[in-house]
Amino acid sequence: MPQVKIFSATATTYLAEKIATAYGLPLGDLSVSRFSDGEIGVHFNESVRGAEVFIVQSTIPPADNLMELMLMIDAAKRASAHKVIVVMPYFGYARQDRKDRPRVSIGAKVVANAIQSVGADRLMTCDLHAGQIQGFFDIPVDHLDGSAIFVPYLRSLNLGNDLIFASPDVGGVVRTRSFAKNFGAEMVVCDKHRKRANEIASMQVIGDVEGMDVVLVDDMVDTAGTMTKAAELLKDKGAKTVRAVATHPLLSGPAYERIENSVLEELVVSDTIRLKQPCSKIKVLSFAELFARAINNVVTHESISSLFI
């Protein structure tokens, strides 16, 4: 069996260290340097010849994080790695998954092409904005499900028979229904209409939440406009409590202020992206153990779906 080595690019070192520890290996030795003009250079400080190399990097902005990842893949391939597996906890550009109007790019496909073109043999990611992005790849994609860490936490809250799940938009219905099914609970939908990106024109609740403990479910939270507006609307409709679950905490612009001042009991997120600042209403759960188990199952050719709830 080939030797396993886990390396981290700079954007996700905090998570890669936890993944490597959970797997039982030290993080690999890698140097990332920059020329005076900002150009990136990478160098493996140890041999990867014949090894199964796992590279951990979330492709959050800026685009340098994606470029650094591609340089690492290229360096590993040129150093005769047996296989290069990209562990991308957060897949950037996933919101650009289709042509929703004329003359626009499909960013998710561009990223998929880039990762494959430099020689990645496999991709491991979590809670893609749209599951069909897996079809942009011609290599195996292991798409982990965030419910594996969120469902046990929600169970620990003992919310009982008053629990109901809500999707903050129509696009998240499948994800929300999956959560509801795990609890044998009902779900409602917050139907929103946008004028432009990150700006909501109107929103309405489809379903009854009177006297219920509502859990909003989403794959990511960016400016938190949708999440906090949906929470306020649900409270106006008679919800007893409203909390939210979102895998990827992008949290840009006024997000932290909006969450702190919102009616949300709490926002539960993962560590696929590091928080920029503390917030009393945000709870972070770690994906490290789940990714470590997934890496083990890839190495030993065991089922990945066994890790799902």
- Residue 145 one-letter amino acid: D
At 200 the pLDDT is 53
Q: Does domain 4-146+288-307 correspond to CATH entry 3.30.420.10?
A: no
Average pLDDT of 121-129? Answer: 96
Which CATH fold would you assign to the domain 147-285? Rossmann fold (3.40.50)
Average pLDDT of 23-51? Answer: 96
Is the confidence at residue 242, as pLDDT, over 80?
yes
Average pLDDT of 113-140? Answer: 96
Band of residue 196 on the pLDDT scale cut at 50, 70, 90: low
Mean pLDDT, rounded, of the chain: 94
Is the confidence at residue 74, as pLDDT, over 70?
yes
Cα angle value 47/51/53 (rounded, 5°) = 95
Q: Give the per-residue SS3 of 244-292.
A: EEEEEECCCCCHHHHHHCCCCCCEEEECCCCCCCCCCCEEEECCHHHHH
Tell me the two tokens of residue 18.
């936890």
pLDDT tens digits along 51-70: 999 999 999 999 999 999 99
Q: Torsion angle of alpha carbons 210, 216, 221, 224, nearest 10°?
A: 10
Identical fold between 4-146+288-307 and 147-285: yes
Dist CA 169 CA 176 (whole Å): 10
Secondary element (H or E) of residue 70: helix 64-78
Average pLDDT of 196-221? Answer: 84
Is the confidence at residue 199, as pLDDT, over 60?
no
Dist CA 72 CA 5 (whole Å): 13
Dist CA 22 CA 193 (whole Å): 43
Beta bridge partners of 268: 245, 283
Q: Domain residues of the chain, as ranges?
A: 4-146+288-307, 147-285
Is the confidence at residue 218, as pLDDT, over 90?
yes
**Peptide bond just before 102 cis, omega within 30 deg:** no
Catalytic residue among 5, 18, 83, 192: 192
Is the confidence at residue 1, as pLDDT, over 90?
no
192 belongs to the catalytic site: yes
At 170 the pLDDT is 83
